[in-house]
Structure 1
Amino acid sequence: MVGDDLISVLGNKYNTDILTAADEPMSAQELSDELDVPIATCYRRISELEEADLLELHDRPLSEEHRRVKVYRRQVDGIEVDFRDGITIEVEERSAVKNRLDDVWRNLSSGEN
């Protein structure tokens, strides 16, 4: 994503809060409840963050009502913006180790081997 576009996405209300909260996989409803964001706004922000490759659909587990629920997780651990010589943006992606640990935990908690 181009620097100006990324800054625009990060500047939208709630987006940085969603990224911060989505360190662990969370559903849109969980994000909405935790951050006190209207659910429709939360879905719009999730879509925007997915398009920017900052948030990803992590899983679709079954809820207690036996319905599939989408859970999201951020794809980045940090974003650094420097304005000294024009705009420079460095994105620190989630480490492969964190991704593997999340996958192992998800498999254990769902009963998969």
Structure 2
Amino acid sequence: MGTEDEDVRDIASLLADECTQTILTETVTEPMSARELSDVCDVSPQTIYRRLDGLLDHGLVEAETKPDAEGHHYKVYTATLDRFVVELTSEGLELSISRRNQMADRFTRFVDEVRDR
């Protein structure tokens, strides 16, 4: 079994999980912290972090560090997955992933705003 086959299986297994699906759907429009995701998914923070690790490993979410009111930092997560397609061909399963480029989009908006001032 090749690396691509392992990736297909890993991602498919990850996406089959209900908690992972909730993480992706909840973070598609608004970044959320692990604590917020833990509440929404009704699972432990450790479970959320395990799912986030898998999603981060495959580039399906991105993390951004934010400061809080007391000067500490925490991460928020945003789904980057746009589309996941597995196609059965005579060669085997072919994986196609489309990702949003949200971090770059936010940076571009920031630069545009600074330029407009």
TM-aligned CA deviation for residue 27 of structure 1: 0.9
Counterpart-to-counterpart distance in 2, 1:37 and 1:73? 19
Q: Among 18, 25, 35, which residue is 1:20 paired with?
A: 25
Equivalent runs, 1:1-113 vs 2, <5 Å: 2-23=7-28, 24-57=30-63, 59-83=64-88, 86-94=92-100, 96=101, 98-103=102-107, 104=109
Choose 1 or 2 for highest CA Rg: 2
CA contact (8 A) 1:9 1:52 kept: no
> Runs of 5+ in structure 2 lacking a partner?
none
TM-score normalized by the length of structure 1: 0.73
In 1, Cα distance between equivalents of 2:19 and 2:68:
25
Provide Cα deviations, 1:53-103, integer angstroms capped at 9, x if missing partner. 21121x211112321011111222121223465423221110x4x444434
State how many pairs are aligned.
Answer: 104
Q: Which has the higher strand share?
A: 2
> Could you tell me how far apart the structure 1 residues matched to 2:103 and 2:59 are?
15
CA RMSD of aligned residues (A): 2.4
Q: TM-score, with normalisation over the residues of structure 2?
A: 0.71
What percentage of residue pairs aligned between the two structures are identical? 31
In structure 2, what residue type is equivalent to 1:32?
S
